[in-house]
Amino acid sequence: MTNLLKENVKISLDSIKSHLLRSTLTVLIISFGIMALVGILTSIDSIKYYLNENFMMMGANTFTIRNRSMRIQMGNRTTLPKNFRSITWQEAMDFKTQFDFPAFTSVYTNASGIATLKYGSEKTNPNISIIGSDENYLITSGNEIERGRNLSGNEVLYGTHAVVLGSGVVDKLFKNNEDPVDKIISIGPAKYRVVGVMKSKGSSMGFNPDNICIIPVTNARQAFSRANMSYSVNVMVNDPMMLEPAIGEATGLFRIIRDVRAGDEDSFDVAKSDNLAEMLFDNLKYLRLAATVIGIITLIGAAIGLMNIMLVSVTERTREIGIRMALGANRKTIRNQFLVEAIVIGQIGGLVGIVLGIGIGNILSLIIGSSFIVPWAWIILGVVLCFGVAIVSGFVPATKAAKLDPVESLRYE
């Protein structure tokens, strides 16, 4: 059986070589179908990996209380944001004091997004984000200290001029590989002592999460004071399984603090760290559906093309079929020979399409800064689809070849 299969594969390859142009065109049709399917699905996997990596940095056990919700727009579907009155300093601190749950709670505010930092003769562009926070912000935001230390409770209490820098800011200010810890830098007109440096999170798609610096929230209230300054609260529960109960308790407590009457909707937004990613994942299913439809349509065209080339091949090789039958080949052997030839063409096309699809999909990975993706599930799907297309396309020509009369075949010119 093995020897017969090897012989059929060898005959198939010889036939492909003898009709190279026609076989190549058929292979390319199959390749484009698989390339479209695998390429787009690989791109979707790259996007999902990127979203998981960038929008879930805070972890699956974190949520944020703030005064406005997010806006997401994809196509004609728009999620309109809700804006509530600002969360005051007193409300945020009352929540932190009264929230009795096994969790880390942090109060912070976005003091500025257009700050310029200076050290000696070096200075940054006016695009640095200043975050005023307490000593728990690094824990709840998923950041880590690389050098130095975090802000202390006393520094937050007294509004000390201390700062923790993002690695992107360090790269701009300390170009001679100096240790930034204990150096004095300028943020606007004020001087701050660098107490720590955060680990890099990397940048992609034009956004750099390392272009931030963190100062005590009490200092930010003075240095960046403005009307209706709003504060947010990060909460990271100790046990991820307790996230929903923690959200429920936090919502109830903050409704009391904000004097929300029973029956009225919340006057604040509670967002889990993975909310945005979940919304985008939900919309990616339409892209996956489009990729599947495109791939199937192209594969239908490939199936028609493959069936056509096999029917032509049967007609051109009628005399060869008669000779094989005269030498003892039965109808089953002839049928299997042409089926194997169809499968070989289909698998060659599938292999080329899979390689091209993975390459195209990972070009997007390279652009957005995601990791190289090898979509094993889609590779297996591509192989199975090509096998199915070959069987469906090759069955009719193979059956036709098997039913040829050996005497008439020998007389065919």
CB of 190 closer than 8 Å to CB of 132: no
218-222, 335-339, 397-401, range with greatest mean pLDDT: 218-222
Residue-level pLDDT at 159: 94
Distance (Å, whole) CA 195 – CA 184? 10
pLDDT score of 380: 85
Write out pLDDT tens, residues 152-162. 999 999 999 99
User: So what's the pLDDT on residue 192?
Assistant: 96
Alpha helices in 129-204 (DSSP H): 137-141, 153-158, 167-173
If we measure between CA atoms, which residue out of 43, 30, 34 comes closest to residue 381? 34
Residue 294 has pLDDT above 80, yes or no: no
Average confidence (pLDDT) over 14-29:
78
Per-residue pLDDT band for 89 (boundaries 50, 70, 90) equals: very high
Tell me if 218 sits within 8 A of 157, measured CB to CB: yes
Task: Give per-residue burial for 172-196: e unless 16+ CB within 10 Å, then b.
Answer: bbbeeeeebeebebebeeeebebbb
CA gap 148, 151 in Å, rounded:
10
- Cβ burial 83-100 (10 Å sphere, 16+ → b, else e): ebebbbbebbbbbeeebe
| pLDDT higher at 412 or 315 | 315
Average pLDDT, the chain: 82
Q: What is the pLDDT of residue 357?
A: 85
Is it the case that residue 188 has pLDDT exceeding 90? no
**DSSP states along 311-369:** HHHHHHTHHHHHHHHHTT--HHHHHHHHHHHHHHHHHHHHHHHHHHHHHHHHHHHHHHT
Rounded CA-CA distance 324/135 in Å is: 85
Tell me which of 119-128, 241-250, 271-280 is least confident. 271-280
CA angle 206, 236, 103 (to 5 degrees): 165
**Do the beta carbons of residue 40 and residue 285 sit within 8 Å?**
no
* Beta partners for residue 270, in sequence order: 65
> Tokens 């070959």 belong to which residue?
390
Q: Residue 84 contacts by C-beta under 8 Å, 6 or more apart in sequence?
A: 67, 68, 267, 268, 269
Classify the C-alpha dihedral 331-336-337-341 as positive or negative.
positive
Q: What is the pLDDT of residue 72?
A: 47
Instruction: Return the closest-CA partner of residue 272 out of 11, 70, 124.
Output: 70
pLDDT in tens, 200-222: 876 544 456 788 999 999 999 99
Q: What is the pLDDT of residue 10?
A: 77
